[in-house]
C-alpha cells in the first residue's frame, strides 16, 4: 500500500464535492453504527455497575475504532495485491465516505431555501434532522443559529479531521477516525444511560479532534480574510470565547464563524423539554438572518479547500526533503 496518500485525499475530496454520498451506494458508517449497537447490547448484558459500564465502554470504543482500522487496512491491502488501480480506487472511495462537505452544504442549503420561502414549520423539521435540540418552537433566528452552529462544528468533524487523518494514514486511519466520531455521536451523551458507558467514546472523540480543531481555527481565520469578512474578530472570538464552550474543540469553529460574520451564537437551547444554556460565541453586531447560513457554507468550503491544499503541499515537501536525505 502506498505511503503517500495525498493524491488519494485530493481525489476523494473532489469526489465528495461532485457527488457526495449517493444513497444507492453502501456507506461504511451505516455498518459501523450497526456494529456499535450490537456491541453495546452485548456488553450491557454483563455490565451493570458504573465501573463495569465504563470498562465496557472502553472495550466498545477500542474494538470499534481498532476494528475499523484493521478491516479497512486488510481490505485495501488485499485490493492492492490484486491490482494497483483496484486498491487506489477503493482507497479513494473509502476516504470520500469519511468527508461530508457536500452533504453538509446540501442540508444547510435546503434549510436556507425553506426559510427564504417563509416555510418555517418545514425549516424546523429539516433542522431537527441535523441537530439534537428541540426545534418545534424555534423562530427564524433560532433555526438559523442552529444551522450555522451545526455547519461550523462539522467543519472539524465532517471535513478537516478525516482529511487530516487520511493524509497521515490513508483510508484505514480516516475510517478509524470516522468510527471514533460515530461512537461519540451514538454513545457520547451525558445522560443517565451513557454517562458511564459513553465516557470513553466521548473522551476519544475529544482527543481525536484536538489538533484538527485548532488547525480549523487557523483555516477559518484565513478563509475569513480571503472572503473579505472579518479575520480579526474571528481570531479574537476564538481566543475569548472558545474556552468557555463545553466542548474542548467545538468552540473553536463556532467562535471563528461567529466572529467572522459578526453574529452571536450559543444561548438557550432545549433538549427533551429541558433548558440548556450554551456560552455565547461572538458578538451580536448583526441580527441572525438566513443569509448567514450561506456565508457559513462559503467559509466551510474555503476552509476545507485550504485544508486539502495545505496537506497536499506539505506532503509534497516531505517527499522532496526525504528524497534528499536518502
Domain extent for 86: 6-325
Is the pLDDT at 3 greater than 80, yes or no?
no
pLDDT band at 23 (very low <50, low <70, confident <90, very high): confident
Residue 26 belongs to a domain? yes
Q: Who's near 229: CB < 8 A, 6+ residues apart?
A: 223, 260, 261, 295, 299
Tens-digit pLDDT profile for residues 207-250: 999 999 999 999 999 999 999 999 999 999 999 999 999 999 99
Per residue in 61-111, pLDDT (tens digit) is 999 999 999 999 999 999 999 999 999 999 999 999 999 999 999 999 999
The pTM score is 0.94
- Considering its fold, how many domains does the chain have in total? 1
Rounded to 5°, the CA angle 11-105-17 comes to 15
pLDDT at 225: 98
Burial of residue 118 (number of CB atoms within 10 Å: 0-12, 13-18, 19+): exposed
- Here the cell at position 61 is 470504543
Residue 102, SS3?
helix
Which residues neighbour 19 within 8 Å (Cβ) at sequence distance 6 or greater? 102
Averaged pLDDT score across all residues of the chain: 95
**Maximum distance among all alpha carbons in the chain?**
64
Query: Which grid coordinates belong to 228?
Result: 473579505
- Rounded Cα distance between 323 and 305, Å, is 27
Q: How far apart are CA 66 and CA 59, in angstroms?
A: 10
The residue with greater pLDDT, 131 or 26, is 131
pLDDT bin (cut points 50, 70, 90) of residue 320 is confident
Half-sphere exposure in the Cβ direction for 28 (13 Å, CA): 28
> CA-CA distance, 154 to 167, in Å (whole number)?
19
Which pLDDT score, from 0 to 100, does residue 4 have?
82
- Residue 298 within any structural domain of the chain: yes
Whether the pLDDT of residue 326 is over 80: the answer is no
Compute CA distances 108 → 102, 111, 116, 323, whole Å. Answer: 10, 5, 12, 44
Alpha carbon 308 to its chain's center:
15
Predicted confidence at residue 286, as pLDDT, reads: 95
Give the separation between CA 6 and CA 315, rounded to whole angstroms.
Answer: 6
3-state DSSP call for residue 94? Answer: helix
- Is 1 within a domain? no
Q: Are 302 and 226 spatial neighbours (Cβ–Cβ below 8 Å)?
A: yes
Answer yes or no: is 103 within a domain. Answer: yes
In-domain check, residue 166: yes
Residue 94 covered by a domain: yes
Residue 313 lies in a domain: yes
> Who's near 34: CB < 8 A, 6+ residues apart?
none
Amino acid at each position: 500500500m502506498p505511503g503517500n496518500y495525498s493524491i488519494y485525499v485530493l481525489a476523494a475530496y473532489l469526489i465528495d464535492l461532485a457527488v457526495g454520498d449517493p444513497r444507492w451506494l453502501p456507506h461504511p458508517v451505516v455498518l459501523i453504527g450497526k456494529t456499535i449497537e450490537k456491541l453495546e447490547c452485548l456488553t450491557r448484558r454483563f455490565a451493570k455497575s458504573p465501573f463495569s459500564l465504563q470498562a465496557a465502554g472502553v472495550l466498545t470504543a477500542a474494538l470499534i475504532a481498532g476494528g475499523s482500522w484493521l478491516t479497512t487496512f486488510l481490505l485495501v491491502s488485499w485490493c492492492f495485491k490484486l491490482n494497483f488501480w483496484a486498491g487506489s480506487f477503493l482507497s479513494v472511495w473509502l476516504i470520500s465516505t469519511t468527508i461530508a462537505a457536500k452533504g453538509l452544504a446540501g442540508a444547510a442549503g435546503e434549510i436556507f431555501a425553506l426559510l427564504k420561502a417563509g416555510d418555517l414549520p418545514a425549516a424546523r423539521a429539516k433542522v431537527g434532522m441535523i441537530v439534537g435540540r428541540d426545534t418545534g418552537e424555534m423562530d427564524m433566528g433560532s433555526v438559523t443559529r442552529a444551522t450555522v452552529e451545526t455547519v461550523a462544528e462539522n467543519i472539524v468533524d465532517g471535513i478537516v479531521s478525516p482529511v487530516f487523518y487520511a493524509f497521515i494514514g490513508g483510508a484505514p486511519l480516516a475510517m478509524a477516525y470516522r468510527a471514533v466520531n460515530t461512537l461519540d455521536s451514538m454513545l457520547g451523551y451525558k445522560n443517565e444511560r451513557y454517562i458511564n458507558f459513553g465516557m470513553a467514546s466521548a473522551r476519544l472523540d475529544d482527543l481525536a479532534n484536538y489538533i484538527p480543531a485548532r488547525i480549523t481555527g487557523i483555516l477559518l481565520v484565513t478563509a475569513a480574510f480571503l472572503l473579505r469578512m472579518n479575520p480579526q474578530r474571528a481570531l479574537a472570538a476564538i481566543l475569548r470565547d472558545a474556552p468557555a464552550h463545553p466542548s474542548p474543540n467545538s468552540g473553536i469553529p463556532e467562535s471563528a464563524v461567529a466572529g467572522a460574520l459578526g453574529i452571536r451564537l450559543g444561548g438557550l437551547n432545549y433538549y427533551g423539554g429541558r433548558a440548556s444554556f450554551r456560552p455565547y460565541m461572538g458578538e451580536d453586531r448583526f441580527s441572525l438572518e438566513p443569509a448567514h447560513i450561506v456565508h457559513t457554507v462559503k467559509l466551510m468550503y474555503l476552509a476545507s479547500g485550504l485544508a486539502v491544499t495545505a496537506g497536499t503541499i506539505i506532503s509534497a515537501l516531505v517527499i522532496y526533503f526525504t528524497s534528499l536525505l536518502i
